[in-house]
Amino acid sequence: MGLGSELKLPCGAVLPNRISKAAMTEGLATPEGRPTPALERLYGIWSDGGAGMLLSGNIIIDSDHLERPGNVVIEREPDADMRARLASWAKAATRNGNHFWAQISHGGRQTQKLVNPHPKSSSDVQLALPGSQFAKPTPLTREEIADLVTRWALAARACKEAGFTGVQVHGAHGYLVSQFLSPRVNLRTDDYGGSLENRARFLLEIVRSVRATVGPDFPVSVKLNSADFQKGGFDFGDSLQVVKWLEAASVDLIEISGGTYEQPKLLGVAGQEEEAVQNVAPSTAAREAYFVDFAKAMQAEVSVPLMVTGGFRTRGAMEEALASGAADLIGLGRPLCVDTDAPAELLNGAERFARYEDNLDLLPSWLGFLKRFQLMKAINGFAGIYWFYQQIWLLGHEGRVDRDLSVFKAFRILEARNKRIMQERAAL
């Protein structure tokens, strides 16, 4: 089983190879959340890049809970213009015969104040991040929870009708579903809080609603944290049990990831507290790909296909993950922001990619000592992510990348763009 082999999913759909472009936030929609020609150009380029499947960035089901300004939003039955835009996007993203799946999400408490100063979450636990960019949330009512379950299904149906070939429920990285799963964030005392069974109820209701809407032959997947890596948070034992429940609920693929805004493990960025240790092989800490050992431990107990994303940069590590049974699908994110044809190169025998993130510093070298402090290390790491965001913007608008772009310039550009989008959105 190599990178070029097909992957048949439980629903019967077949991915042409074992490489997926992982979900990355694009920020290229109109201020009201409609797909644009820039998204079409971007995903057309990625479709030509050779991956067997592309995952969209966050498609949000509530415009008051964006993951970032510029998200695509499907919160109601699409009008004719929205249907046409979704269809054009899907057509461009599948032009090379690959799959294109919609990642459907809700920001919850991880919605910035500039978007919503009164966000909703599982309970009223505020993000423990400096700078006060995120407000204290209000707990969702049971009626609001039921409405959101319906919205997930509505968005899934709209994407299927537009030509997307699958959907993914985003249950990781501290967004709303992940907030329900975490005992640290979910302090509810009703049927949606307390035991793991109750905390997973929201996710399982979403999956059942989506499956009933799209039918048995359409791929339905979930992105799930292997752990939040926070003391008192969602841990590996919880994750394994939820995977078993998802398998029973006819999910076709589970992407294993980890971390939250407070502990951004996926991005290799330092969090605000000491990382909680998880009970998996010690090789995890030194492994090129962050979540391989978590997935391998899961594969010993479930048969649902697993996708592993995060840290892969060499062909050898990818082939090893597939051969060992730890992964059925390899997710690539940041490399495709610069080397857009990386999947095709891999399939043709390429051995490795550049690790651009290793050389992205907001702080000048003479201030490098500040990275010894946890807060400055985190700020520097997040600023480096903005460099990749700007590469995505350039690909979408100009069909090119800028390898010489400075992190500081990328940071300034993105901050200004976000403010402008929100001003335009407020004027609608």
Tens digits of residue pLDDT in 205-228: 999 999 999 999 999 999 998 876
Higher pLDDT, 299 or 258: 299
Instruction: Look at 75-79, 249-253, 413-417 and tell me which has the smallest mean pLDDT.
Output: 413-417
Answer whether residue 147 shows pLDDT above 70: yes
Would you say 105 and 59 are in contact if contact means Cβ atoms under 8 Å apart? Answer: yes
Looking at residues 391-405, what average pLDDT do you find? 96
Structure confidence at residue 361 as a pLDDT band (50, 70, 90): low
Answer whether residue 35 shows pLDDT above 50: yes
Answer whether residue 149 shows pLDDT above 90: yes
Answer whether residue 373 shows pLDDT above 80: no
- Give the whole-angstrom CA distance, residue 335 versus residue 402: 13
pLDDT digits (tens, 9 = 90+) for 263-278: 554 445 444 444 444 4
- Structural domains in the chain, CATH included, are 7-358 (3.20.20.70)
Q: What is the dihedral of CA 150, 333, 5, 254, to 10 degrees?
A: -30
Q: What is the pLDDT of residue 294?
A: 85
Query: pTM of the predicted model, to two decimals?
Result: 0.91
- Give the whole-angstrom CA distance, residue 203 versus residue 180: 8
Q: What is the pLDDT of residue 236?
A: 87
Answer whether residue 412 shows pLDDT above 90: no
Highest mean pLDDT among 43-52, 343-352, 408-417: 43-52
Answer whether residue 193 shows pLDDT above 90: yes
Please report, for residues 132, 208, 339, the alpha-carbon distance to residue 88 in angstroms, rounded to integers and kept in the order given. Answer: 38, 28, 24
- Give the whole-angstrom CA distance, residue 290 versus residue 285: 7
Answer whether residue 141 shows pLDDT above 90: yes
DSSP string for residues in 97-115: S-EEEEEEE--GGGS-TTT
pLDDT digits (tens, 9 = 90+) for 79-100: 999 999 999 999 999 999 999 9
What residues have CB less than 8 Å from 39, skipping those under 6 apart? 26, 28, 29, 72, 89, 396
Q: What is the pLDDT of residue 285?
A: 40
Instruction: Look at 114-123, 230-239, 347-356, 399-408 and tell me which has the smallest mean pLDDT.
Output: 230-239
Q: What is the pLDDT of residue 265?
A: 46
Round the average pLDDT of the chain to a whole number and report it: 88
